[in-house]
Amino acid sequence: MRTLPHLPGCYRYFAADGTCLYVGKARDLKNRVSSYFRRTGLSPRIALMVAKIARLETTVTRSEAEALLLENNLIKTLRPRYNIKLRDDASYPYIRIGSEPFPRLSYFRGGVDKRSLFFGPYPSSSAARTAIELVQKAFLLRTCDEANFRNRTRPCLLGQIGRCSAPCCGRITEAEYALDCRRAEDFMLGRSREVLDELEARMWRASDAWEFEEAARLRDRIAALTQMRHQQAVETTGGDVDADVVAVAVREDAACINLAMVRGGRHLGDRAMFPKIDAREREAAPTRSELIEAFVGQHYSELPVPQLLIIEPVPEDPELPERVSSLLSELAHRRVPVVTEPQETRRRWLEMCVQGAQIALMRHLQQEGTQLARLKDLLEILGPGFEPASGDPMDFSVECFDISHTQGEATQASCVVFREGRMQSSLYRRFNITGIEPGDDYAAMKQALERRYAPVARGEAQLPSMVLIDGGRGQVEMARQVFDELGLDPTIIVGVAKGEGRKTGLETLVFPLIDGERRAPLTLGRMSKALMLTAEIRDEAHRFAITGMRAKRAKTRNTSKLEDFEGIGPKRRAKLLAHFGGMKQLKNASAEDIAQVQGISRTLAAKIYAQLHGQPLVSDPEAPNSQES
């Protein structure tokens, strides 16, 4: 440690067996690493970790902000045992106003760009969609996609009922539409009073001029904006229109970090996250200070930093606000205050956030208790060979496979993943099945299993605790053959055979033939907790397979319909679909609209239109007699 520099960077602790214990960041590597080896003042969790440290690695960075980004990447790749890992990996939604001549109002997830306007992030998709609905109702911005917008000849339903200004049909000029976009931007940024005052003044002017229909429309827009203010209030009384509020609740070896978002002076709602605490270290749970610091590091490394952060006071760590403020200020390239004793409106925000954390944690404990009981029941029924290596039932993992097709058409296999006591939708996979006889479910299952577990046989991935097959003895035997060919352990394969009449509660668990012996099937009964968990996983695999198959079938049918058209080859088909955005929009287009596509003559456009609508082909009298190339 004597050779460590007084520079920012990342440090990594390793155990004697090479396992990564902890990854951390520091503004001063020498001071930070030295603090772990003092005799007093360490939390029980950190003291337990320090006793296992055998090796240290460090990486110097140019700033603490760079160290934070490196720390998050290392946590994802090394999966250190003592780091606090947030389970919530979902991206946050935004509201987007595009950069087109008539900008589109839309729901958005992903990386933001500089051309469009983005508002958020919002704590949940429902909060963002509700805000979009109210903004559209108040400012009449379009929400249709570009293909629909370019090819409409009359207003859509929203335009007909007065929920959209119908710029697609020229009902509003570009300048007037841009003014509505500016008003929407002002309102979303917290300047709601100015927008309401302007609309109210316009309403009274229209009323004085006896333009009562226009006055009524403005009245409805004012009502929509007022409703939005009430639904998303608490209103700010100062200049801090963007703030995040963080509260922590800890109970029964579980923790909840609740994030409340205030944007544009409006309280948008809460988002609760539940850090994963290693079952082997339950006696040394992380402190509130460690939880808050871990959340700030992981959350703001990928999301915008607000103008203000409000957190609960942590008496045992009085330097926490200063450390967090310093890190956030470096990330944002501006001063970001961290408040622990807020007043007035800010205090109400914090009180609401604390209460939300406590309620979310109680609900989480109830759900986790129910799921834990289901897992224990299933493990007890399955017996030896299925227990996770850690001994914690919550580490039990399942991958479930199902096959879906329509009389052999658009065959797809689904693989859904159950891990850490919940379905992990980000790990789901679909397999397009090709090269088999239509309707051959055994061959489809064989192909899906080979594609999924070939990397496991090569040592590039790990097996789950159980492989669940939606099917009976035949499907299970096919899975066993695949595992035998790949050199994998087939004892973890379990099939779910549907009962009489496919009624839930009558399913039977089926096991493969191992060394000439087969375990007797298990009928669990309607009230079995293990069956409830198994049925939940199986039904999710079925749902995921069906939705994928239907999408593939629709795409295949639409594409094949164009392929059968006279005079349409691959290049023209691609140009048509790119121009109109899909078969639905193409079918709604007129022959004149189709002729606007590059490479499509009026004669060919008339033929395409006729074939789309099942009409007899009629030659164009004005067209030349030359053959269309």
DSSP result, 372-427: HHHHHHHHHHH-TT-S-TTS-GGG--EEEEEEEEETTEEEEEEEEEEETTEE-GGG
Q: Do domains 243-364 and 397-551 have the same CATH topology?
A: yes
pLDDT computed for residue 627 by the predictor:
37
Name the band, by pLDDT with cuts 50, 70 and 90, for residue 554.
Answer: low
The C-alpha atoms of residue 550 and residue 313 are separated, in whole angstroms, by: 52
Residues listed for the chain = 629
pLDDT at 492: 92
% of residues, the chain, pLDDT over 70: 87
Q: What is the pLDDT of residues 496-527, one digit of tens each?
A: 887 665 566 678 899 998 888 888 888 887 77
Separation between Cα atoms, residue 215 and residue 584, nearest integer Å: 38
- For the stretch 400-426, pLDDT in tens is 999 887 766 668 889 999 988 888 888
| Cα separation values, 614 from 134, 463, 561, 594, 618, Å | 41, 53, 12, 16, 12
Quick one: which of 495, 496, 422, 490 has its CA closest to 456? Answer: 490
Span 427-482, pLDDT tens digits: 999 898 888 888 788 998 999 999 999 999 988 888 999 999 988 888 999 999 99
- b/e map 184-212, b = 16+ CB within 10 Å: bbbbbebebeebbeebeebbeebeeeeee
3-state helix, strand, coil in the chain (%, to 5): 45, 20, 35
Please state, in angstroms and rounded to a whole number, the distance separating the CA atoms of residues 71 and 75: 6
pLDDT tens-place string over residues 297-347:
888 877 888 888 999 888 888 888 998 898 889 888 899 999 998 888 888
pLDDT bracket for residue 235 (50, 70, 90): very low
Residue type at 612?
L
Region of poorest pLDDT, from 220-224, 489-493, 495-499: 220-224
- What integer best gives the mean pLDDT of the chain? 82
pLDDT at 408: 63
| The pLDDT of residue 622 is above 60 | no
- Residue 460, Cβ density class (10 Å: 0-12 exposed, 13-18 middle, ≥19 buried): exposed
- Predicted TM-score (pTM) of this structure: 0.64
Q: How far apart are CA 476 and CA 480, in angstroms?
A: 6
Dist CA 411 CA 430 (whole Å): 11
Domain 397-551, what fold? Nucleotidyltransferase; domain 5 (3.30.420)
| Cα–Cα dist 575/534, whole Å | 47
Model confidence band, residue 279 (pLDDT cutoffs 50, 70, 90): very low
Pick the CATH number of 564-612 from 1.10.287.610, 1.10.3720.10, 3.40.50.12780, 1.10.150.20: 1.10.150.20
**H or E element at residue 260:** strand 254-263
Q: Give the pLDDT of residue 331.
A: 85
pLDDT-based confidence at residue 621 (cuts at 50, 70, 90): very low
> Thinking of the domain 243-364, which architecture would CATH place it in?
2-Layer Sandwich (3.30)
For residue 179, the one-letter residue type is L
* Nearest alpha-carbon partner for 485 in 526, 436, 446: 446
Question: Looking at residues 267-272, what average pLDDT do you find?
Answer: 84
Nearest to 224 by CA among 199, 189, 201, 202: 199
Q: Which CATH superfamily is domain 9-83 in?
A: GIY-YIG endonuclease (3.40.1440.10)
Over the stretch 577-620, which tens digit does the pLDDT of each residue have?
777 766 777 878 888 888 888 888 888 888 888 877 766 655 44
Domain ranges of the chain: 9-83, 94-231, 243-364, 397-551, 564-612
User: Mean pLDDT over residues 562-589, rounded?
Assistant: 75
Contact 10, 70 (CB under 8 A): yes
Token pair listed for 406: 């329509």
CA dist., res. 76 & res. 595, Å (int): 52
